[in-house]
Amino acid sequence: MSTAQDTSADIAGTRPAAGKSILTVPLVASLATLGLLIVVPLFLKNFVVFQLTMIVIYAIAILSLNILTGASGQVSLGHSAFFAVGAYATGIMMEHANVPYLLAIPIAGVICFVIGFLFGFPALRLKGVYLALATFALAVAAPPLFKLGTFEHWTGGVQGLLVTKPEPPFGLDISQDRYVYYLSLTIALIIYLLSVNLLNSRSGRALMAIRDNEIAASSMGVDLALYKTLAFGISAGFTGIAGALGAITVAYVAPDAYTFNFAIALFLGMVIGGVGWLPGSLAGAAFIVFVPNIAEGISKGLSYAVFGVFIFAVIFLLPNGARQLAYYLYAQIKKLVSRF
Amino acid sequence: MQGQPLLAVRDVSVVFGGIVALNNVSFDLRQGNILGLIGPNGAGKTTLFNCLSRLYQPSKGDILVDGASILSRPAHKICDVGIGRTFQNVALFPNLSVADNIRVGAHSHTKSDIVSDALHLPWTRRQEHTLNERVDEIIAYLDLQAVQDQLVSGLPFGTQKRVELARALAAEPKILLLDEPAGGLNHEEVHVLGDLIRRIRDDRKITVLLVEHHMGLVMSIADHVVALNFGSKLAEGTPAQVQSNPDVIKAYLGSKDQ
Ligand SMILES: Nc1ncnc2c1ncn2[C@@H]1O[C@H](COP(=O)(O)OP(=O)(O)O)[C@@H](O)[C@H]1O
Ligand SMILES: [Mg+2]
C-alpha cells in the first residue's frame, strides 16, 4: 500500500499535480480507457460483449470492496452475499411485482445499503481476521438461505429465478447484450465518479483517518461508529447494484453463482487492482474474468493450478497490483516528456 | 482573586488493575497560561491527558471545562469543548498527505453528509475552499509548505511532530494538550519549539497544558508547574518554586532518566 510514496494519498488517482496543466497523464489515461470501453464493444461479438459486461459489473463490486477495505480499513470476505441480495431483490421485484428494471436496480442498492449498514454495527466490535471471519460467515450462509424451501415461492429455491433481459428502449437498433453493456457501463461510471468525490471529501478523509489510526481520528472528532457503519452501507449498496446488473445481464439468478468462491474472487480482484486504488478495480475485474479462461486454455485439467501460478506471479512481481504498474508507467512517461 | 478556571481537574483517580496511575490529582488551568506538567516516567502524565481527551474514564473525580463536566462526552465530542492534543509517540495518519492530516484536524469544525460529499454539492465545495484557506495558513505558520503534499509516513520524526501540532491547531482548540513535544529533538530544536509554543499561546490565544521531560523547556516557558510522582501531585507553583521543592528534587534524582 505504500510504494507510491511520492504520489500523496491519491486514492482516487485523479488529483492533478499542483501547478500542472489540467490535462494530466492520469486524466488522459482515464479518458482513453473510457473511450475504449465505449467504442470497442461496437466491433465485438455478442458473447465477448457479455464478458465485458461482467467485467464492468465485477469492477463495480471490486470498487465497492475497495471503499470498505482500501479506504476504511475493514476487511470483507463476504461481498458475494451483498451481490446475491442485490441480484435476488432485482429478480423478485421484476418477476413477482413487475417492477421496471430501471427502478429495481436502485431499490436493490438501497436494500443492500440498509443490510450492509446494519451489519456494520456488530462489525464495529471486530477487527482484522475476526472481521474477515464474520464476513466469511455471511458468504457461506447466503446460498443455503436462498435455496430454503420457505422462500421457494419467491427465490425459486435450488432452481433459481429466470429474469427478463431488458429490450433496448426507444426502438434502438442494438442487440440486447450491447444495450445491457452500455447500461452497466453508464451505471459503473456514475458509481465511480460518486466514489471519487466521496473519497476526496470530508467523509472520505474521515474514513481513511479511521483506517490509519482510530484513536487519533476520534480525538479529531471523527465518529468512528458512524463512519465505519456508513462505509459498510455504501460498499454493500454499490455491490447490490452490481448484483442487480448481474441478474439482468445473465437473465438468471441462481444460488450457486454467489458462493464463497465468488467473494474470494472479488477480494482477489481488489488486491490485483491495488488495494485502495479505485481505477485498479477494472484491471482486477478483467483479471478474475479472463485469467481463469486463459488458465483453462493452457491446461484443462490443471486450470486452477495454472491460475494459482498467475496469481502468485502477479503478487510476487507487483505486490501493489495494477496501481504499481500504472505509477511505473506514469513515471516513465514523465521522464520521456521531460526530455523534450 | 481570579475567576473560574478554564480547565479544572478535581480529585481524579485512575486505576489499572491494581496499579494506581493517578491518585486524587487536582489542579486548575487558567485562561492564557502555559501549565507545565512534569514528573518521572510512569508518573501518570499521559494517563491524565487520556482522561482529558476521554480515552480513559477516571474511576473517581471530575474534569470541568468552563465549569461544566466533560466526563459524559464521548471521545469524538471532546474537540467541541475546545480540547485539542498531540500524542507522545505521534499518532498521525501515515498514508495521508500532510495537508490531508491537517484537514482531518478540522473535522469537528466542518460538517457534511455522504450524499452531499458524493455529489460534491456547491455548499460542500465552498466549505472545502474555506477549509483549504485555513489549512494553507496553518501550513505556512508551521513552515510545512515544502512537504504539504507528501505522505506523512516518509517524513522525519521532527517534521511529523510539527504536522501533529498543525493538525491539532486546525481544530482551533481553546486548550492545547502537548505530550512531550520535545521528545527526540536536539538542543537547538527544543529552543525553537519553546518559542513556537509561546507564539501559539500569544498569537492564537490558546491555553497550553504541556507535559514535558525536558526541564529546561518547561522552566523557561511555563507560567505554572504541576509535578506528579507515582500518580500523586507532589508540588505545584511557579517554575522556581517547583524546581526548588525538596520532594521534586528527590523524585527526579531517584529516577534514572533525568
Ligand atoms: N492502558 C493502560 N493499561 C495499564 N496500565 C497503564 C495504561 N496506561 C498507563 N498505565 C500505567 O499507568 C502508569 C502511568 O503511565 P503514564 O501515564 O503513561 O506515565 P507518564 O506519561 O507520566 O510517563 C504507568 O505505571 C503505566 O504502566
Ligand atoms: Mg507519557
Separation between Cα atoms, residue A277 and residue A322, nearest integer Å? 9
B120 and B238 share one domain: no
- The three cell numbers locating residue A265: 474472487
Encode pLDDT of A1-45 as tens digits: 333 333 334 555 544 444 445 667 778 888 888 999 998 988 888
B9 and B70 share one domain: yes
Asked whether residue B213 carries a pLDDT value surpassing 90, the answer given is no
Which run of H or E residues covers position B48? helix B45-52
Nearest CA among A54, A62, A74, A80 for reference residue A130:
A74
Task: Point out the domain boundary residue: B141, B166, B191.
Answer: B166
Grid look-up 474511576 returns: B59
Separation between Cα atoms, residue A250 and residue A164, nearest integer Å? 9
Task: Point out the domain boundary residue: B166, B195, B224.
Answer: B166
Give the mean model confidence (pLDDT) for residues B201-224. Answer: 92
B121 and B22 share one domain: no
Whether B149 contacts B176, CB under 8 Å: no
Going by pLDDT thresholds of 50, 70 and 90, the confidence category of residue B183 is confident
Task: Point out the domain boundary residue: B124, B148, B166.
Answer: B166
* Higher-pLDDT residue of A155, B117: B117
Pocket test for ligand 1, best of B13, B16, B22, B179 (most atoms within 8 A of CB): B16
Separation between Cα atoms, residue B107 and residue A315, nearest integer Å? 36
CA distances to A239, B95, B127, B211, B221 from B49, rounded to whole Å, are 42, 26, 31, 9, 20
Pocket test for ligand 1, best of B9, B19, B53, B88 (most atoms within 8 A of CB): B19
B236 and B203 share one domain: yes
The atom number, within ligand 1, closest to the CA of B43 reads: 22
Query: How does the average pLDDT of chain B come out, rounded?
Result: 92
Going by pLDDT thresholds of 50, 70 and 90, the confidence category of residue A75 is very high
- CA of B96: which chain A residue's CA is closest? A9
Residue A225 confidence (pLDDT): 95
B184 and B235 share one domain: yes
Mutate to test the interface with A, among B49, B70, B96 (most CBs of A within 10 A): B96
Q: Is residue B88 part of a domain?
A: no
Asked whether residue B253 carries a pLDDT value surpassing 70, the answer given is no
B181 and B207 share one domain: yes
* Higher-pLDDT residue of B73, B183: B73
Asked whether residue B120 carries a pLDDT value surpassing 50, the answer given is yes
Q: Chain B partners of A5 at a C-beta cutoff of 8 Å? A: 150-151, 153-154
User: Do residue B117 and residue A218 have CB atoms under 8 angstroms apart?
Assistant: no
Nearest CA among A199, A239, A195 for reference residue A60:
A239
Residue A165 confidence (pLDDT): 86
B185 and B247 share one domain: yes
**Domain encompassing residue B188:** 1-82+173-258
Distance from the alpha carbon of residue B238 to the mean position of ligand 2, in angstroms:
22
B136 and B60 share one domain: no
Asked whether residue A196 carries a pLDDT value surpassing 50, the answer given is yes
Asked whether residue A118 carries a pLDDT value surpassing 80, the answer given is yes
Nearest CA among B157, B140, B253, B115 for reference residue B203:
B140
Q: What is the domain class of A3-338 according to CATH?
A: mainly alpha
- The three cell numbers locating residue A173: 437498433
Separation between Cα atoms, residue B251 and residue B256, nearest integer Å? 10
Mutate to test the interface with A, among B46, B113, B117 (most CBs of A within 10 A): B117
Q: Is residue B30 part of a domain?
A: yes
B77 and B183 share one domain: yes
B72 and B105 share one domain: no
Separation between Cα atoms, residue A134 and residue B93, nearest integer Å? 27
Give the mean model confidence (pLDDT) for residues A100-127. Answer: 94
Nearest CA among A85, A90, A33, A49 for reference residue A64:
A85
Which run of H or E residues covers position B232? strand B232-237
Query: How does the average pLDDT of chain A come out, rounded?
Result: 88
- The three cell numbers locating residue A5: 510514496
The complex's ipTM works out to 0.92
Strand-pair partners of A107: none
Whether B26 contacts B48, CB under 8 Å: no
Distance from the alpha carbon of residue A273 to the mean position of ligand 2, in angstroms:
41
Q: Is residue B4 part of a domain?
A: yes
Residue B211 confidence (pLDDT): 95
B136 and B202 share one domain: no
The CATH number of the domain holding residue B1 is 3.40.50.300
Full-model pTM: 0.90
Asked whether residue B112 carries a pLDDT value surpassing 80, the answer given is yes
Q: Chain A partners of B171 at a C-beta cutoff of 8 Å? A: 220-221
Tally of structural domains, chain B: 2
B140 and B33 share one domain: no
Q: Is residue B7 part of a domain?
A: yes
CA distances to A96, A104, A149, A326 from A100, rounded to whole Å, are 11, 6, 27, 40
Separation between Cα atoms, residue A340 and residue A338, nearest integer Å? 5
DSSP state of B78: S
Nearest CA among B7, B20, B80 for reference residue B49:
B7
Q: Where are the domains of chain A?
A: 3-338
A 10 A CB-CB count for A256 gives 12
